[in-house]
Structure 1
Amino acid sequence: MTAAQLTLAVALSLVLLPLGLAKITARPVMRRAAAHLGMSPGVYRVVGALELAAAVGLLLGPVCAPLGPAAATGLTLLMAAAAGIHLRHGDRPGRAVPAAVVGLAAVAYAGVRPFAD
């Protein structure tokens, strides 16, 4: 694992772990966010579980080579969908920026992966 990968994995995990846990435990702020986006709490819990899985996959990437890139790819797709959902529900573009930034960081993680060895 390169220093860049480690930095990205830790940074993404620090973002994804608390957000994923908050969605899974259906914290009030997350229930409001789910309602705003037209999602049931159950669907939002699935999103949270996917975020947790991505964080774990990124951190375990060095232990299991295919896991890191797979997690980064899944996270990129999840964040692209999140940005699109925010825009589709009439949120101002700035509300989609965090998802876009996380998605781009996941792309960067996957991009440095082939050069890690």
Structure 2
Amino acid sequence: MKVKLQHVAHTRSGDKGNTSNIAVFAYTPELYPLLKEQLTEERFKKFYGDAITGSVTRYDVDNIHAMNFVCQGALGGGVSRSLCLDNYGKALSAAVLGFEIEVPEHLKTFLKAPELIA
């Protein structure tokens, strides 16, 4: 079944200059391998379309079931230089919660709010 990332993980973010830093934390250790397999640097960048103009580098933090994405060219030249408030790191981290993850049926009980998933 396909579910939005918001049922698998939560996010945190930060920004500095024109770089956004987005961390994705699996809700449970059982869901983390799905994230590592499906939320690749390429798919992450593609999800944002033209919003990220530079490279995306993923750092795996296995001991806390997290991944950290460093996105160059993600803030319209830098937060203080851009008139587009939607490019701030927090908006980018909230947006990725709409990314779709394929989850096997036997892991459904580990999802957040599984009763809301058809």
Return the TM-score normalized by structure 1: 0.31
The structure that is helix-richer by fraction is 1
Structure with more strand by fraction: 2
TM-score scaled to structure 2, two decimals?
0.31
